[in-house]
Every structure is written in C-alpha cells, then in structure tokens.
Structure 1
Amino acid sequence: MAYEVEAPKYVRLAQTIQSRIEDGTYAPGTRVPSENQLVQAFGMSRPTVVRALELLKRDGWLESRQGYGTIVRGRPALVEHKDRRGSEALARDESQAFGRLVEVVHVPVPARVASVLGLPKRAKVLMRRFLAEEDGEPVELVSSYFPAGLVEGTELESSAPLGGSTRAHLEARKKVRFDHVTERVSARLPERSEAELLDLPDGVPVLSVLVVAYDASGQALQVSDVLLPADRQELEDTYRLN
C-alpha cells in the first residue's frame, strides 16, 4: 500500500515561511520575526525554528546581517532544495548540535566502509556515533568511521562531544583538505542497537545514506553512515531541466 511520508517539522515550517515571503507577508529587505516570535506564533520548539531558518538561509531565501538580524532576500533566481546529508554530517558541531554523542569505540571495519577506505577485512577503525534529535525525538543516527592513521594526534578518540566539526578538526590537526563527497542511498532493516536508538518498532526499515568524504587525490578521509527512519523522513531534490 502506498502512502505519503509527512515532511519533518522544520521542513514544514520552512515551507510556511517561504510561502509568506512569496505572498509578500515577509517582504524582501525586511527582518523576519525573531526566533522567540516564531516559536510563539507556530507553537514549535526553538531547535525546530533554528533548523528551519538555517534551511532557508542555505537555499537563499534569507540571510544574516551582523547587527541587523535575519533579513528576507526574496525568491532565489534558482531554487534548489537538496537534502545534503553528507555536508550536514561533516559540518555538525557535536557540542552545539541537538542530540547526543552515543559512543566512541574502535570496531572491525564494516564491509562497505572497508571497500571505500581501502582497508582489509577485520581491520579496526574508530567509530563516533551521534544521535540527532528534534523536539526530544530521534531523527537521525550518524556513525562516522575514521582509519587509524588519521586518528593519531587528534581528539577523535575522546568520549566528549567534539567542539567544531570533524572536518574542521581533521583539517586543522592533520593538515588534510576535504575536497568532495559522494552519497549512496539504500534501504535496509536496522540492527537491534540502531532500532533501539532510533526508537523504531520491529520491521520498520531505515534509509542509509553512506557519505564518503575525499581529498582532491581521491583518498577517502571519512565515511559516515547516516540512518533515517523511513517512516519519518523523506529525501527531496528540485532541479532545473536543461
């Protein structure tokens, strides 16, 4: 039986604000209501409001100006809504993000991670696992894997949330440079520990976005397995036809 998955709260709020920009309620050049005002007006939590505003800034509807706040830019010349899970995973600041660091542990490298990192079977890699939450509910489980040689001299093995993103940390400590990312999307049933963290009933599948970050030479630096509950999330891409 086919059914439509409802978009996350922050996406629905972003769409509402976007509609108000298009109908002139929020005119270009004016400030949008404050976070507190949006929380009260829409009855949503601050994390949801913040994430909606970040999405609109990313897509060019809004911009932040120092000393003035968040202002309306208007409809972008080309609207491209892309759920770039890879860039979000690489940019996440664990110490500031909504959610919690679940575990930091050395594990045998999963088969599909080994293939992209160029590691033999049974090699050990460091895994940092972060559970992202929205309004107190789990929405995303990110397991990031790092080869042993890249971990030395960093704070990646610390069980404390990392200040700043893993990308910024590695670029600063190891003098590497992240250049491009590939994302591979598949569906599967979660492992028991994954299902428990995501609070999934038996039989509910997950979308797995395997994010591989490379340097300019094509060497894989970090692999993140982003799990999304298939009954709560959707992936969307809007693009212009040539």
Structure 2
Amino acid sequence: MAYEVEPPKYVRLAQTIQRRIEDGTYPPGTRVPSENQLVQAFGMSRPTVVRALELLKRDGWLESRQGFGTIVRGRPEVVEQQDRRGREALERDESQASGRLVEVGEAPVPVRIASALGLPGRATVLVRRFLLEEDGEAVELVSSYFPAGLVEGTQLASLEVLSGSVREHLEARKKVRFDHVTERISARLPEASEAELLGMPDGVPVLSVLVVACDASGQALQVSDVLLPADRQELEDTYRLN
C-alpha cells in the first residue's frame, strides 16, 4: 500500500502562505492578497485559493474583518498551547511514559475503527493498548489500531515498549508522514475489560476521544481510542473569536 503522496494543492498553498507570514512577507495586521491576486500569483483555481484561506482562518493564522478583508493574525499562539489528546497519543514515548503496555495483537477491526481506517468490516488490524497511570491509579487507556499493510517491517507487533513515539517509529520505518489529526469525542459505558483496567465501578461512563491520524492525502495511518474515566475528567479549551 502506498502512503507517500503529495499534499493536496490547497494544503500546499496554505503552507506557502504560512511560511510568508512567518518570514514577514505578510506581517500581522496587514491584509493578505485578494483571491484574484492569489489565483494569478500561484496559478491555482479560485476554489483552491478559497479552501486554503478557510483552512488558515480555521487554524487561527488569518481572520476576516468586515470592511477590511482578510487580515493576517500571525502564528496562532493559543492553538499551539492547547492540550491535544491526539498529539499526545501519537508522540508519547512508551519507554518514558508512566504506565504499561497491556495488550498487543491482531484482532477483527471494530466497526467505527474500520470506517475511520477505510477498511472492510471483516479486516484484521493490529491493536496496541497502553494503560497510563499516575500515583498507581489508572487515568487513561489508549487502544491504537494499525492496518496490516503498515505494520510490516516495524516493531509495532512487539510486546516490548517502543523507544520513542509511534509517530517517530512509523515515519522512520515506513517513510510515511503524519499530517493532521481529527478528534471525535463521545461518551459511552466501558466494556468489562476496559472498566477493569481503568479500575472503574459499574455504571460509570468513559469519555472516548477517537483520534484519526492521517497523511496529507487524508489516508488514515493510525486510529487511537483514548478512554478517560468521566468521573475524573474536566475538559477545557481556549480559543479566539473572530
């Protein structure tokens, strides 16, 4: 299975504009070139330009001001400071983390994981399950699922903890590049094995953060189900208003 692909045009354009913001070509507080100017400058279609600008607005690099057009905000500091479960799951060094690897093995892919990975319902995936602990108490259970084609030639199937993060390991061994993450948060009752690992009493729900990590083409490389005991969690986010 091929994973090394060129990012979509709108992503490449957004990255170019980001670099120009960072190098001072488009200073904070100034207007970015108009859509027409960007179309002419980069030889891209208007829909591509519009999509790139919307991506930059969503991520906090730009903002629309009535009567002024699209204004440069600069590097989005608040976004960088946010606590992201997905990034933690991808970049956690297992050998240094406070916890233990509780399960590694092949298993039938759960329905919602299959959908996220783009796999048929009867496919088999590798599951790697890590339990995080603080002061002897279980605080988070991370179940990571990998398509079979991505596991070959890696140490993901090993019962030993990784020296470094899953992201570093896959990018080095498989020459793939993680580009973006989508997080979906829901609440549910844990399965019996999950409740036991987390030390939870009957009837207490968990928060499930489904982390879908993709390359630039949108192909999912890894899906992690991060379970947090709902009675021990408080989620907080800080963001700007346009």
Amino acid at match of 2:219: Q
- Residues 125 and 146 of structure 1 are in contact (CA less than 8 Å); yes or no, is this contact kept in structure 2? yes
Residues 153-197 of structure 1: CA distance to partner in whole angstroms, max 9, x if unpaired?
000000000110000000000000000000000000000000000
Answer whether contact 1:126 1:147 (CA < 8 A) is retained. yes
| 2: CA distance, partners of 1:221 / 1:80 | 23
How high is the TM-score relative to the length of structure 1? 0.67
1:158-197 alignment runs, 5 A limit: 158-197=158-197
The letter for the 1-side match of 2:145 is: Y
| Residue identity in the other structure for 1:188 | R
Runs of 4+ in structure 1 over 2 Å off: 76-83
For the Cα contact (< 8 Å) 1:81–1:238, is it kept in 2?
no
Q: How big is each residue's C-alpha offset from its partner over 1:23-79, in whole Å with a ceiling of 9 and x where there is no partner?
A: xxxxxxxxxxxxxxxxxxxxxxxxxxxxxxxxxxxxxxxxxxxxxxxxxxxxx9758
Counterparts of 1:211 and 1:88, CA distance in 2: 10
Question: Structure 1 residues 79 and 106, CA, compared in 2 at 3 Å: closer, same or farther?
Answer: closer
1:105 match: 105
Residue 83 of structure 1: how far off its partner (Å): 2.9
2:241 is the counterpart of 1:236: no
CA distance in 1 between partners of 2:183 and 2:77 (Å)? 26
Letter in structure 2 aligned against 1:155: Q
1:81, distance to aligned residue in structure 2 (A): 5.5
In structure 1, the residue matched to 2:89 is 89
Number of aligned residue pairs: 167
Q: Which runs of 5+ in 2 are unaligned?
A: 1-75
Which 5+ residue runs of structure 1 have no aligned equivalent? 1-75
Counterpart in 2 of 1:152? 152
Report deviation, 1:136: 1.1
1:239: how far off? 1.3
Q: Is the 8 A contact 2:99 2:133 kept in 1?
A: yes
Sequence identity, in percent? 81
Q: Which residue in 1 is equivalent to 2:136?
A: 136
Aligned to 2:213: 213
Code of the residue aligned with 2:209 in structure 1: it is: V
Distance 1:131 1:77, change over 3 A: closer
**In 2 relative to 1, CA 171–79 (structure 1 residues): closer, same or farther, beyond 3 Å?**
closer
Looking at structure 2, the residues matched to 221 and 181 of structure 1 have their Cα atoms a distance apart, in angstroms, of 10
Separation (CA, whole Å) in 1 of partners of 2:229 and 2:100 = 17
If the length of structure 2 is used for normalisation, what is the TM-score?
A: 0.67
Separation of aligned partners in 2, 1:235 and 1:168: 27
Conserved 8 A contact 1:99-1:130: yes
- 8 Å Cα contact 2:78-2:238 kept in structure 1: no
Letter of the aligned partner of 1:87 in structure 2? R
Deviations 1:121-176 (A, max 9, x none): 12100000000011111000000000000000000000000110000000000000
Q: What letter corresponds to residue 117 of structure 1 in structure 2?
A: L
1:190–1:80 CA distance, 2 compared to 1 (3 A): same
Q: For residue 82 of structure 1, report the CA deviation from its aligned partner.
A: 2.8
Taking the aligned partners of 2:77 and 2:104, their CA distance within structure 1 comes to 43
3-state SS of the aligned residue for 1:231?
helix
The match for 2:124 is 124
What code does the residue aligned with 2:207 have? L
Distance in 1 between residues matched to 2:81 and 2:165, nearest whole Å: 23
